[in-house]
Amino acid sequence: MSHPNLLTSTREPLDVELKVKEGKVPDDLSGFVFINSGAGTVNSGGLPYERKLPNGEFNQEFGSPVINGDGYMYRFDFTEEGKVKLKTRLLKTPCFYADIASSPILNPNNPFADIAFKNRGLARMSMKLGTRNQINTAITPFRKPGDKQSRLLATFDAGRPFEFDPKSLDLITPIGENKFWRAGTPPFLNNPFPMVLTTAHPVYDPETKEVFSVNFTKTTRNLLSATEIFHLIFRSEEEIERRLEERISRWEAIDDKEQVVKEVNDFFYEEATEKEPKSIWDKLRGWYWKLIGRHFSNEDAVYLVQWTGSKNPKSYKIVNENGSNIQIQHNMHQIGFTKDYVLLADTNFKFTLDVMLNNPFPNNQRIDSFLRELLDGAQNDYSTLYIVHRKDLVPENKEVKAHKVVLPVETVHFSANYENPNGVVTLHAAHNCSACPAEWVRYYDECKLHNKPIDPQRVGMLAVGEMDIGKIGKIVIDVKNRDNLEDKTVFLHLEGKPGTKDPGPHTWGVGLYTYCDMLSPDKNVGEIKHIFWQAYGLDDQLLTDFMYRLYQDPKRNRVYSAEQMLEFTKKGAPFVLETVETDSMKATDHYSFPAHTFMWSLQFIPSKTKNNAIPESLNGYILCTVIGEQKNDQQTNSYFSEIWIFDASDLKKGPVAKLHHNELQFAFTIHSVWVKEAAEVSIPDYKIDIKQDYNEQIKHIKRRWLRKKVQSLMNDHVYPHFR
């Protein structure tokens, strides 16, 4: 069934068999594909985020990025020949139930409306409850020692991972108690739902049965940038909004940006501390903030988390080779490993509070636009890798030194060959050059090429209108001898022929990728031979005026100038699925998607039939989630959500099957994984007692009235779901 909005997603639980629209489901498919996604909030009932609420009021969530939404898991079952069965469920964390209970939209008269969560850019936050852990990004398979079948983790950049049952898709347990994880917010914010800065891609080594993750903190100054006291503004939003509007005209006339930032900071600080105190507690809080609060902060620190199924993981502080703390500039979205090393990356994805909180008044276009212009910044045009020797991860070492490597390109995702002969590590990386996956299209944005309002159908999409060509990297590092082997390192960029129906393989907007046995819980890939890449193409409706100005600096490390990128974007290029053979680093096969067709997730499915005529790394299929535009009888646009399956050894012939269902609607899917089985798993002995875990958090809330209110909310509306 088609739908009128490009970004349409259901939150309903589905148990359906997909229908074949074109082609035939291959007989040699097997196993299960899991795909994670965000599907709106408890208030929205899915996507899109509508402009108006049912009562006619402006919707505070309108214009939110599509990646800010509750985790909604897809499970595709290929175990019956010729059939594809789909099961979907929301991933219902404790904060999910707290969100429902506190929502003033679902229940305007509920007593918890004053502590409700709200969308704040990339995050959904409550200044009284904390940050939603939406576990909507990726999936990591693993086995605890003694397991016969794999288990699954749902993951997020700003929350601890949760194990979920592969059969029912119900949550089983978070990994590690709250008190194990260091909160990413300043220490004085004693929220029951802490923001945990971690990686959306924890990794599992099936040879050693270890799961690796990270937990990092940033100083308040580095975490919040110019917004170091934004956590205080939500006490009186309407009054702050009115005062902001009064001052913006004067601020906009000041040319010195640093002076404006100082005045904005001073404004919020004065609003938070210099109001007439109403009680002795207000006076004490004011005294605290004036004398202590602005200096009470986290440290810059990185902790490597190692877990093999115990109640709480082990943690090692990772430091530079000179013993100094590591300062993360952006975030640690991706980590990796080889036989001898763990690879930690400061990746180019601004998923920290400075981006999360740069639109505290999303209803107010003037304030939102002003603060975004003031506070946002371009990502680095390089990325940093920290290489940790696994032999150093022993209990007696509380601190472990890492070898720092600076890569001359932006990186968000990468994989590594498991084998590292003589200490030589080989990475395969996606390079999103001068394109920003942490930015999204706002409802007031303008298209740079046409100086007209952006297509309303794109509002909320990632604003990844490229300001340079993307690259596919093979990076070779001699860790043993502290040498970057530049003669063996390749950064492949392919221009293709923009403006044509089939421009050929290209790297405009390099995105996700997949390969045979990627994230396998059963075996490591010693040497990755073929990788299947997604490239977004060139879309003038995703290159906003704001993004152009943010990344137009000619001093950036770039292949094409900003002016050249406008010309390329004017020509346009479609999404492409392409195969890169890693020995030669050449694109050997590709498929160009039709115009106005979006391919989001891709997953390699191995064939259950051995074929000696082709390499194992090509013997299988690529499943893709696809959204396309179609014309109806009234010549108005509508959109479909479909699953396309390609022969991995012959992409150019197009999909061998297209599948759909009337109830299948997705807006933006993200990471995926293939596993052999998805049977119900046993309850593990590391299962966390949710009531005990969160009561430990609640007792640290300093204000008695708030502590009592939160305890009541948890007792009545959260704990009953976690017996």
d(CA 417, CA 415): 7
Neighbours of 456 (CB within 10 A): 13
pLDDT tens-digit profile of 139-159? 999 998 888 889 999 999 999
- Give pLDDT, residue 351: 54
Q: Is residue 446 helix, strand or coil?
A: strand
> Residues 158-203: pLDDT tens digits?
999 999 999 999 999 999 999 999 988 766 678 999 999 999 999 9
The DSSP H or E segment spanning 301 is: strand 301-307
Residue the block writes with tokens 């051995």: 610
So what's the pLDDT on residue 572? 96
Kindly state the average pLDDT of the residues 379-399. Answer: 94
Least confident of 98-102, 275-279, 595-599, 631-635: 275-279
* Residue 373 in this model has a pLDDT that exceeds 90: no
Quote the CA–CA distance of 361 and 377 in Å, as a whole number: 19
Distance CA 362, CA 359 (A): 5
The sign of the CA dihedral 590, 671, 681, 393 is positive
Position 298 scores a pLDDT of 73
* pLDDT computed for residue 256 by the predictor: 79
Confidence of residue 560 (pLDDT cuts 50, 70, 90): very high
Sign of CA dihedral 570, 576, 582, 584: negative
pLDDT reported for residue 174 = 98
Euclidean distance between CA atoms 134 and 41, whole angstroms = 10
| More confident call, 288 vs 175 | 175
3-state secondary structure of 280: helix
Q: Select from 406, 402, 471, 407 the least CA-distant residue to 435.
A: 471
Instruction: For strands 14-17 and 85-90, give the pairing.
Output: antiparallel
Residue 226 — pLDDT band, cuts 50, 70, 90?
Answer: very low
Q: What is the pLDDT of residue 150?
A: 94
428 annotated among ligand-binding-site residues? no
pLDDT value at position 679?
94
Residue 438 confidence (pLDDT): 81
Dump pLDDT digits (tens) for 333-352.
Answer: 999 999 999 999 999 876 54
Q: Which of 14-23, 217-226, 563-572 has the lowest mean pLDDT?
A: 217-226
Confidence bin at 292 (pLDDT 50/70/90): very low
Residue 308 clears pLDDT 70, i.e. is over it: yes
Contacts for 691-696: CB closer than 8 Å, 24+ residues apart: 691/719, 691/722, 693/174, 693/177, 693/178, 694/94, 694/178, 694/192, 694/718, 694/719, 696/177, 696/178, 696/179
Q: Is the peptide bond before 48 cis (omega within 30 degrees of 0)?
A: yes
Answer with the residue of higher pLDDT: 58 or 237. 58
pLDDT digits (tens, 9 = 90+) for 612-639: 999 999 999 999 999 999 877 666 789 9
pLDDT of residue 285: 45
Residue entry with tokens 């999909």 = 655
Rounded CA-CA distance 377/156 in Å is: 23
State the chain's mean pLDDT as an integer.
89
Cα 708 to Cα 94, 102, 129, 628, 703, distances in angstroms: 18, 14, 12, 50, 9
**Can you tell me the distance from the alpha carbon of 390 to that of 77, in angstroms, rounded to the nearest whole number?**
36
Confidence of residue 291 (pLDDT cuts 50, 70, 90): very low
Taken as a whole, the chain contains a residue count of 723
Nearest to 185 by CA among 173, 194, 198, 177: 194
Report pLDDT for 237: 63
Q: What is the pLDDT at residue 228?
A: 37
Write out the two tokens for 457: 């159908």
Q: Closest by alpha carbon to 157, among 437, 431, 409? A: 437
What is the spatial distance between Cα 426 and Cα 485, in angstroms, rounded to a whole number? 10
Reported in sequence order, the residue ranges of 408-549 that DSSP labels E, i.e. its strands, are 413-416, 424-431, 446-447, 452-453, 471-478, 483-484, 490-492, 510-514, 530-535
pLDDT band at 276 (very low <50, low <70, confident <90, very high): very low
pLDDT in tens, 531-559: 999 999 999 999 999 999 999 999 999 99
The β-bridge relationship of strands 335-337 and 72-77 is: unpaired
What would the pLDDT profile of 75-109 be if each residue is shown by its tens digit?
Answer: 999 999 999 999 999 999 999 999 999 999 999 88
Which pLDDT value is given to residue 220? 59
Query: According to the model, what pLDDT value does residue 365 have?
Result: 79
Contacts of 490-497 with CB under 8 Å at 24 or more apart are 490/585, 491/409, 491/431, 492/580, 492/585, 492/586, 492/587, 493/469, 493/559, 494/587, 495/469, 495/568, 496/573, 496/576
Cα-based angle 584, 589, 590 (whole degrees, multiple of 5): 130
Q: Higher-confidence residue: 411 or 283?
A: 411
Cβ pair 366, 248 in contact under 8 A: yes
Tens digit of pLDDT for each residue in 671-712? 999 999 999 999 999 999 999 999 999 999 988 999 999 999
Please tell me the predicted confidence (pLDDT) of residue 188. 63
* Confidence (pLDDT) at 288: 43
**pLDDT higher than threshold 60 for residue 204:** yes
Burial class (CB in 10 A: 0-12, 13-18, 19+), 55: exposed
pLDDT of residue 495: 97
Q: Which helix (H) or strand (E) segment is 2 a member of?
A: none
If you search the block for the tokens 């001093």, which residue do you land on? 555
Query: CB–CB of 557/409 below 8 Å?
Result: yes
Contacts of 45 (CB under 8 A, 6+ apart): 11
The pLDDT assigned to 658 comes to: 98
- What integer pLDDT is reported at residue 233 of this predicted model? 46
CA distance 225 to 221: 5
Q: Across residues 486-490, what is the average pLDDT?
A: 95
pLDDT of 66 above 90: yes
Residue-level pLDDT at 502: 96
Number of CB atoms found within 10 A of residue 450's CB: 12
